């Protein structure tokens, strides 16, 4: 299939892109195009105007902010995989990036596009949630810093406001004492996760986050499981309870799968 006709703009700056979005009511952004182009080709998401943000240098910037690092939304998965983009997650981001799709997709797909798309089984939303990242969103009303837990709303749904663009993410630098794990189960190499568990466990700074993706409409923090892990208590009962609350129609196979990925991820950080 070919897309229906649309106008195309390729603005040089983020402000120009925001201006173009504002001028065209039926417009969409395109970054790496790995999710949007198939939707356009299948005419599932026809737009009159496409704003290409792929050449905006600002979106590929990285900045050291002391305790945090800013990574631009336009950095590709491959840039993280190759170590060109910084990894304040002590290797977690690099590992996740290398497990997204296959190399051709990773060379084009961007971290911002992945989060904006909000696929419930995507890798970046889960990893950034586990890292306690903030999304920097720029729009006609200025800039907002939005916690990942507030940005992710549901299946393919975020709390981005009309005309807003994700400029990048601020990610706190994990101390050397922090341990991380990323356990992805997919049915074939290059596919989205059937179950993805990500854990950040920093005993020294009392920070523990446990995330599951693929179980509900969005990647979710398992607060009770994280609290149990932080205090050294058993996590199995909490996992079962929290999965039950997340999954609309829990079936034995999916429950077992998510319990297994979570169990492995927790085992990796706790040395069990």
Give contact residues for ligand FAD (rule: CB under 6 A). Answer: 28-36, 73, 100-101, 105, 108-110, 112-114, 116-117, 122-124, 160, 165-166, 190-192
Q: Work out how close the CB of 98 gets to ligand FAD at its nearest, in angstroms, rounded to a whole number.
A: 11
Contact (CB, 8 A) for 270 and 226: no
Of 37 and 227, which CB lies nearer to ligand FAD in the complex structure?
37
The angle at the Cα of 212, spanning 265 to 171, to the nearest 5 degrees, equals: 85
CB 99 within 8 A of CB 184: yes
Rounded CA-CA distance 71/141 in Å is 22
Min. distance of Cβ 59 from ligand FAD in angstroms?
Answer: 7
Could you tell me the sign of the dihedral formed by the alpha carbons of 69, 74, 77, 80, in that order? negative
Residue number with the smallest Cβ distance to ligand FAD: 109
Shortest approach of ligand FAD to residue 213 CB, angstroms?
9
Q: Give the nearer residue to ligand FAD in terms of CB position, either 18 or 238.
A: 18
222 near 238, Cβ under 8 Å? yes
Least Å distance, CB 115 to ligand FAD, is 8
CB of 248 to ligand FAD, least distance (A): 22
How far, in Å, CA of 266 to CA of 201, rounded? 9
Q: Which is nearer to ligand FAD, 213 or 243 (CB)?
A: 213
Q: Taking a C-beta distance cutoff of 8 angstroms, is the pair 215, 258 a contact?
A: yes
Helix, strand, coil shares, percent, the chain, to 5:
35, 25, 40
Q: Cα torsion at 120, 89, 169, 54 (round to 10°)?
A: -80
Nearer to ligand FAD, 198 or 229 (CB): 198
State in angstroms the smallest separation of the CB of 47 from ligand FAD: 9
Closest to 70 (Cα-Cα) out of 144, 134, 150 = 134
Closer Cβ to ligand FAD, 124 or 182, answer by number: 124
Q: Which is nearer to ligand FAD, 113 or 228 (CB)?
A: 113
């Amino acid at each position: 299939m070919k897309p229906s006709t649309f106008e195309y703009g390729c603005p040089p700056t983020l402000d120009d892109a925001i201006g173009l979005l504002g001028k065209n009511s039926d417009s969409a952004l395109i970054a790496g195009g790995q999710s949007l182009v198939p939707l356009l080709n299948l005419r599932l998401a026809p737009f009159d105007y496409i704003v290409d943000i792929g050449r905006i240098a600002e979106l590929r910037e990285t900045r050291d902010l002391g305790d945090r690092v800013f990574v631009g939304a336009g950095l590709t998965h491959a840039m993280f995989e190759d170590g060109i983009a910084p990894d304040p997650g002590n290797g977690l981001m690099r590992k996740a990036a290398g497990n997204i799709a296959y190399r051709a997709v990773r060379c084009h797909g961007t971290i911002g596009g992945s989060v904006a798309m909000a696929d419930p089984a995507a890798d970046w939303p889960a990893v950034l949630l586990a890292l306690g990242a903030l999304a920097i969103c720029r729009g006609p009303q200025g800039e907002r810093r939005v916690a990942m837990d507030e940005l992710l709303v549901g299946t393919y749904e975020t709390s981005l406001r009309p005309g807003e663009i994700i400029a990048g993410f601020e990610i706190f630098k994990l101390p050397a004492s922090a341990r991380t794990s990323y356990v992805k189960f997919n049915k074939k190499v290059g596919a989205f996760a059937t179950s993805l568990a990500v854990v950040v466990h920093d005993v020294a700074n009392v920070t523990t986050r446990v995330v599951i993706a693929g179980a509900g409409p969005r990647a979710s923090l398992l607060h009770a499981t994280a609290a149990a892990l932080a205090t050294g208590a058993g996590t199995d009962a909490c996992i079962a309870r929290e999965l039950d609350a997340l999954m609309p129609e829990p079936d034995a196979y999916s429950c077992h799968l998510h319990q297994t990925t979570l169990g492995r991820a927790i085992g990796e950080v706790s040395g069990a």
